[in-house]
Structure 1
Amino acid sequence: MMTLEDFLRMGGYAAYVWPSYGLALLVLAANLVAARRRHGRVRRHLAALARQRTTAP
């Protein structure tokens, strides 16, 4: 049976595996942050357009 230590060592490849996981998580987090920021910008832009339409003669 595999112990936790064996799992963490990844068969001797831990120096390659764990940084890869870290980089993947970093990219996913950056993608999430970028999407949320873009969503906020689009919402503000649409709100400004809606205000223009209601105030335009």
Structure 2
Amino acid sequence: MMQAQFQSMAEFFHMGGYAFYVWLSYGVAYGALAVLIGFCMTRKSRVLKEIAAKVKREERLAQHRSNRQ
């Protein structure tokens, strides 16, 4: 038979008097993950735009070279 660690939901959220530290650590961890995900998504879109610009520039240079010959 499994024994419950907490007698009620209020006791669970209170965490034996350590609720502030427990929930703060969860908040900081999830906040850091959200910032990291946001940074990565922003950086990815910036890199893809830079790649597209380079490809377009290379195509334009290749077109210019072929017109000169």
Q: TM-score, normalised by structure 1?
A: 0.91
Q: What's the RMSD between the two structures over aligned residues?
A: 0.9
Deviations 1:13-52 (A, max 9, x none): 0011111111111100000000001001100000001101
Kindly, what percent of the aligned residue pairs are identical?
A: 35
Matched positions, count: 57
**Where does structure 1 lack aligned partners over 5 or more consecutive residues?**
none
4+ runs deviating over 4 angstroms: none
Q: TM-score, normalised by structure 2?
A: 0.77
**Where does structure 2 lack aligned partners over 5 or more consecutive residues?**
none
Structure number with greater CO (CA < 8 Å, separation at least 6) is 1
**Structure number with bigger Rg:** 2
